[in-house]
Amino acid sequence: MCCTPRKVKNMFTTRALQDEILKLKKENDICILAHAYQSHDIWETADYVGDSYGLALEAAKAPQNTILMCGVRFMAETVKILSPQKKVILSSPLAGCPMAEQIDINMLRAMKEQYPDYTVAAYINTTSELKTLCDVCVTSSSAVKVIGSLKSDKILFIPDCNLGAYIAVQLPEKEIKLVRGGCPTHAKMTVHDAEQAKRLHPEAELLVHPECIPEVAALADYVGSTTGIMDYAEKSSKKEFIIGTENSIVQHLQFACPDKRFYPLSKGCVCVNMKLTTLADVYNCVRGEGGEEIILPDDVMKKARKCIDTMLQLG
Ligand code: 13P
Ligand code: SF4
């Protein structure tokens, strides 16, 4: 009979730490939600792993009293807004999404004055304060459906001009005003990277996130959210894929489909904010000694909730 080593020299093994987390989260009535860009050792401790849309849905359903969000700040804020009675912890206080900070409330006020008859649609990667001024929010997986269902044909889309451009191609009947903003991580992937990867792996399909620049998205066989990319690759009869999103997805897919091959589109596509959370942070959070509890003013939560609820109804 073999036994699992519990310690390497004087350190805990990954497995031992994971076992402690699983035990403590149960004892302390904690639900662990992990965004798809978290590391695989964290995935294995989570109650749910998914894209931003899936996380918002799960947050609203989770029966536990405390939710630990392993991801970035806007995701934890969304959970808090959907479950204001729950204690919501962000796994790493420093983990923000730079895109969510690109527009502040005064800039949005000025834009709304400039385009008074436009419906304001915000990518969910925005602060909760900004959401208080928006009509609806969207995620990468719900955007086309939600914006396609809006009565208005005039849409001011903030802050990701790449996702906005992708939506505009899918919904030519809508007039979509874009602002200059986007994900610095996905912006690192270039047409040159895509062409080179295709040359190196001529049999592979190219799967990219809509946060990529339009010129890269135009070369892709599939454009979708993190969960969308994973589902596509898992179901496809093809054997090789070039992955145009945060590089952790390459590793997760390799675990999910060991007989297929996955290649990163660019070695630079690493979200340092998503990578701030470690398994040790998760351990500290479930024993009540880490992370940051999300506290938002009641009026902000109430106003911001409207645009998230509209997304959930239309999506
Ligand atoms: P998803 O909705 O696909 O999870 O995207 C969130 C995100 O921040 C991607 O960079
Ligand atoms: Fe934000 Fe980009 Fe990181 Fe996603 S990958 S959390 S959009 S910085």
- Decide whether any atom of ligand 1 lies within 6 Å of the 103 Cβ: no
Determine phi and psi for 229, rounding to 5 degrees: -60, -45
CA of 158 to the centre of ligand 1 (A): 15
* Residue 3: predicted pLDDT: 54
Cβ neighbours around 94 below 10 Å, total? 12
- Decide whether any atom of ligand 2 lies within 6 Å of the 225 Cβ: no
- Looking at residues 177-204, what average pLDDT do you find? 97
Quick one: which H or E segment has residue 80?
helix 73-82
Residues 264-295: tens digit of each pLDDT: 999 999 999 999 999 999 999 999 999 999 99
Higher pLDDT, 308 or 6: 308
Distance in angstroms (rounded) separating the CA atoms of residues 180 and 102: 9
- Decide whether any atom of ligand 2 lies within 6 Å of the 95 Cβ: no
Residue 171 has pLDDT above 80, yes or no: yes
Q: Which residues pair with residue 120 across a beta bridge?
A: 156
Ligand nearest to the CA of 36: 1
For 191-242, the DSSP string reads: HHHHHHHHHH-TTPEEEE-TTS-HHHHTT-SEE--HHHHHHHHHH-S-SEEE
Q: Whose CA is nearest to atom 5 of ligand 2?
A: 271
Mean pLDDT of the chain: 95
* Residue 5: predicted pLDDT: 54
**Of all residues in the chain, what percent carry a pLDDT higher than 90?**
92
Residue 113's pLDDT band (boundaries 50, 70, 90)? very high
Cβ neighbours around 6 below 10 Å, total? 10
CA of 12 to the centre of ligand 2 (A): 31
Residues 211-230: tens digit of each pLDDT: 999 999 999 999 999 999 99
- Looking at residues 186-195, what average pLDDT do you find? 97
Distance in angstroms (rounded) separating the CA atoms of residues 113 and 152: 17
Distance in angstroms (rounded) separating the CA atoms of residues 201 and 172: 33
Query: Ligand 1, from 48, 52, 231: best to mutate by most atoms within 8 Å of Cβ?
Result: 52
Residues 1-59: tens digit of each pLDDT: 445 556 667 788 999 999 999 999 999 999 999 999 999 999 999 999 999 889 988 98
